[in-house]
Each structure stands twice: as structure tokens, then as C-alpha cells.
Amino acid sequence: MNEQIEEIFESLKQDLEKAYLHQQNEYLVIRAGRANPHILDKVMVEYYGVPTPINQMGTVSVSEGRILNINIWDVSQIKNVEKAISASDIGITPTDDGKIIRLVFPMLTEERRKEIVKSVKKICEETKIAMRNVRRDALDMLKDLKKDSLISEDEFTSAEKEVQKQIDKYTALADKECGDKEEEVMKV
């Protein structure tokens, strides 16, 4: 295979992998009625003038199915961590006993589950759009190679089919991930 085509495929695979990993990371922070430490990944606390993730300020653990415990190492920062969690969009009010912050995840209503499924589907669709953009870029690069007579019509056609094969593979992975997350959210 032409060296330039191989570079295009390497770039294609990396970009598709990035889109898929982004989808997985987005799904990690979606609340599905169970305690999930990843829900705090995007919450930053002002710690001595520096925005710091909670998992770098203490330990975050699941004590029961629906209770998340946050044990902050610097006890003087408990109020700051509580404020940051309250100000975030996770929708859970923290409680503390002076040593440990607890987040109790309420049971989700049917209506709330349906709203979450909508956002799961939206993330999946955004992932697929990103993948289609990657496909378009790869095909544009292949067309430029063909236009400049660096590859033949046959090489272009087989490369075009290979691009579509990669897109189909990653789209199927994204759909499966979406279906799994929907099932997890809808399970009572």
C-alpha cells in the first residue's frame, strides 16, 4: 500500500479512537441512579488559588450502592469542596459530618431516566457526527492524492472502501456503547 495512504489510515484510526474514547468518558459522568466517583471528574475546587479536581484533594469511594464518600485530606477545605459540588451541575446536595462529605444519589424517576436517555443518545449522535467529519477529511486527502496522480483510480477505490469499513466498525462500537448505557439508565 502507498505510504501516503497508510499515513491517512493511521490518522483516521487515531481520530476515530479519540471520538469513541470521548463518548466513553462522557458516559462515565452520566448519573444512572448509582454512586459513581467519575461524576466528580469535572468538578474543580479553588484550592489555594489553583483549580484542583476533587480526586487530587482526597479519596472518593462508594460506600453503598447509592452513597459516595469523599474523604478530604486537608480538613480545612471541606467547605470549599462542598461549595464546588453544590455549584456544579451534578444535581446532588452534599452533606458532611466535619470529616467526610457524603453524596446520596436519589432513586431516579421514570421521567428523569428518559431525560438521561435523551442525553445519552445526543452524545452518541455527536460522536457519529465527529466520525463522519473524520471520514470526510480522510476522503478529501485521498481525493487530493488521486487528483495529483499520486495514486491510481483502483487504489483510490479500495482506500475509499477501507475508510468506510473503519467508519462502520467505530459507528457500531458507538451504537453498542449507547445501547449499553441506555440499558443501564433504564434499569430500576
C-alpha cell at 82: 462542598
Asked if pLDDT for residue 165 goes beyond 80, the answer is yes
Mean pLDDT of 124-151: 92
Beta pairing partners, 67? 64, 104
Reading phi first (left if > 0) and then psi (alpha if -120 to 50, else beta), residue 33 is in: left
The reported pLDDT for the residue numbered 187 is 79
Length of the chain in terms of residues written: 188
Structural domains of the chain, with CATH: 3-29+109-186 (1.10.132.20), 37-104 (3.30.1360.40)
Confidence of residue 2 (pLDDT cuts 50, 70, 90): confident
**Mean local confidence (pLDDT), 42-58:** 88
Question: Which comes out higher in pLDDT, residue 37 or 174?
Answer: 174
Share of the chain above pLDDT 70, in %: 97
DSSP summary character for residue 51 = E
pLDDT value, residue 43: 86
**Distance between CA atoms of residues 37 and 35, nearest Å:** 7
Q: How far apart are CA 120 and CA 182, in angstroms?
A: 7
Task: Tell which phi-psi region holds residue 91, choosing left (phi > 0), alpha (psi between -120 and 50) or beta.
Answer: left
The pLDDT value recorded for residue 1 is 60
Which residue shows C-alpha cell 462500537?
Answer: 173
| Better-scored residue on pLDDT, 72 or 33 | 72
**Distant-in-sequence contacts of 71-76, Cβ < 8 A, 24+ apart:** 71/99, 71/100, 72/101, 74/47, 75/99
Task: Please state, in angstroms and rounded to a whole number, the distance separating the CA atoms of residues 86 and 103.
Answer: 11
DSSP 73: S
Contacts of 163 (CB under 8 A, 6+ apart): 9, 12, 135, 138, 139, 142
